[in-house]
Amino acid sequence: MDEVRDAIHGFIQFNDWEREIINHPAFQRLRRIRQLGMSDLVYPGTTHTRFEHSLGVMHLGSKIFDNVILRSECNFNKDDIERDRIIVRLACLLHDIGHSPFSHAGEEFMPNNNDTSFTHEDYSAGIIRFVLNDVIENHPLNKNYNIKADEVARLIVGPSDNNTCRYWHNIISSQLDADRSDYLLRDSYYAGVKYGVFDLDRILVMTTLYDKNDSPSFAIKEDGINAAEALIIARYMMFKQVYFQETRRICDFHANEYVKKLLNQSDLKGVFPEPTSKENLQEYLKWDDFYVWGQMTQDRNDRHVKALFERRHDRCIYCSTVFGEKRFEENEKIERWKEKLKEKNIELWVDNADSNWYKRDTEEIKILMTDGKLKNLSQLSQFLINLEKSPIVRLYVPVDSVKQAKEIIKD
């Protein structure tokens, strides 16, 4: 076993098979994609990358798996457990390998996929299937398991009839997944804030697998309710204070606008290649933060490059402050302002910073009561009962237009 020292989890171990995947150029590319896009222009310490985050998710995914197996009442075959654990580790390691430059900020340039758009998970799955299939399937350590690249990809993109997906997809994507557990701790550490800190150890020992009527679900034991609440509070606070921070959002906008310019000037016609072939994905993998920054240095007269290089980013002239019923009135007011600013030829960016902190409809945390019944956390938590979705709307204009724009909305 090899190991690497990590700022969050201490030593992270990996075997020869995992090391070969980590050394692959497609994975090494993650060293060149910042975890939080342009956040270092606000929080200078946030220069960490998707590379160390992915190692951390593999480490945490293994701990979740081992703790669930230890405490679950489900009857697992020993050979199945060993094989599933390998697939879980590989899926955790590779879950973000499909990220575009500047992480989530670049997802708006992913092409349409029927009625929706492709996501970075679709690109991760495609890279696993078309680019990493050889290093996954043909390593000597896979001889006794015959794990296919498609099995790893399916665990990332969602559940299916496959037992491995049904039982373990929650480790990859859920309110209790290894991904958000790592990024909350990691992002808060590098940002220098305490908002993302929660009791990870308590979450681990309280998580169990509840399988009723052949419908497996992760659950938190009743004694762990407060730890589960703290995790949701940590996520809520990180979004409010870090991910949706005013200057960070506009810097991501400027970076995105420049990526849009590059895509429109290329043969790609404004969007990244679809994740449906090896050739497309090899082209996509050329795009990372370093590539975009390199193009910026050759194009310093571009408005968005100047905004980032000279800190002349657009300024926020208004931020929404009301919620609930009064929100409708405010939206009408914002629409009037937009028309006024347009009449004066003032360039405007409207930022709709919106996230559902706790998805009651699709990702409810289940609580396993001492009487053996399952309840939703939102039924038991006064905090979640009172927690409303709170979208933020901000209006930004170029720095030279701030005074005029403020006068317009003041009138």
Residues 256-273, buried b or exposed e (16+ Cβ, 10 A)?
bebbbbbbeeeebeebbb
Domain ranges of the chain: 2-297, 315-350+397-410
How far is the C-alpha of 66 from the C-alpha of 55, rounded, in Å? 17
pLDDT at 279: 97
Q: At a CB cut-off of 8 Å and minimum separation 6, what does 361 contact?
A: none
Instruction: Give the fold, CATH level 3, of 2-297.
Output: Hypothetical protein af1432 (1.10.3210)
How far is the C-alpha of 17 from the C-alpha of 359, rounded, in Å? 36
How far is the C-alpha of 303 from the C-alpha of 346, rounded, in Å? 14
Please check whether residue 208 is in contact with residue 221, taking contact to mean a CB–CB distance below 8 angstroms.
yes
Query: Residue 375 in 3-state DSSP?
Result: strand
Please check whether residue 64 is in contact with residue 57, taking contact to mean a CB–CB distance below 8 angstroms.
no
pLDDT at 324: 64
Listed range (29-33, 360-364, 381-385) with the worst mean pLDDT: 360-364
The secondary structure of residue 49, as a DSSP letter, is: B
* Token reading at 382: 């006064």
Amino acid, single-letter form, for residue 310 = E
pLDDT at 378: 86
pLDDT digits (tens, 9 = 90+) for 45-88: 999 999 999 999 999 999 999 999 887 767 777 778 999 999 99
How far is the C-alpha of 128 from the C-alpha of 151, rounded, in Å? 10
Q: What's 329-373 look like in SS3?
A: HHHHHHHHHHHHHHHCCCCCEEEEECCCCCCCCCCCCEEECCCCC
pLDDT at 333: 86
pLDDT digits (tens, 9 = 90+) for 331-376: 888 889 999 999 999 999 999 887 666 776 667 888 999 988 889 8
Report the DSSP pairing between strands 215-221 and 366-368: parallel
Q: At a CB cut-off of 8 Å and minimum separation 6, what does 122 contact?
A: 98, 110, 113, 157, 275
Positive or negative torsion for Cα 125, 353, 181, 213: negative
Which conformational region is residue 314 in: left (phi greater than 0), alpha (psi within -120 to 50 degrees), or beta?
A: beta
Determine what percent of the chain is predicted with pLDDT higher than 90: 69
